[in-house]
Amino acid sequence: MRGKTHYANGQPVFVQTGERLTYFFKTGLKKAEGISIDGVMQGEWRFWRETGELWQVGHFRDGLKHGEWLRFARDGSVEKRETFADGKAKRGRS
């Protein structure tokens, strides 16, 4: 996700404060936020839609999806629940 540092309107694409990394839409609303250590995603991350609604919550281990991931419908209900191990979805979950 790291490439350019600012949108054409001057809005930062991302801000790193300590280990907390936050990505933004060009409107300034949060796009994603979580821990990044030496450029590698770790722990819980949250992702939002451009409308500001929470879209996904999941965990990373060494940059790979690991653990439970939830995707939310626009009404806030859980749309999908999936468990990952080292970047691969475990079968039998939806």
Instruction: State the CB neighbour count (10 A cutoff) for residue 65.
Output: 20
| Cα–Cα distance list, 33 to 1, 7, 13, 47, 70 (Å) | 12, 18, 12, 7, 15
Pairing of strands 20-24, 30-37: antiparallel
The model's pLDDT over 49-86, given as tens digits with 9 standing for 90+, comes to 999 999 999 999 999 999 999 999 999 999 999 999 99
Domain residue spans of the chain:
14-89
Residue 2 has a pLDDT of 61
Instruction: Answer for the pair 44, 58: CB distance below 8 angstroms, yes or no.
Output: yes
The model's pLDDT over 20-49, given as tens digits with 9 standing for 90+, comes to 999 999 999 999 999 999 999 999 999 999
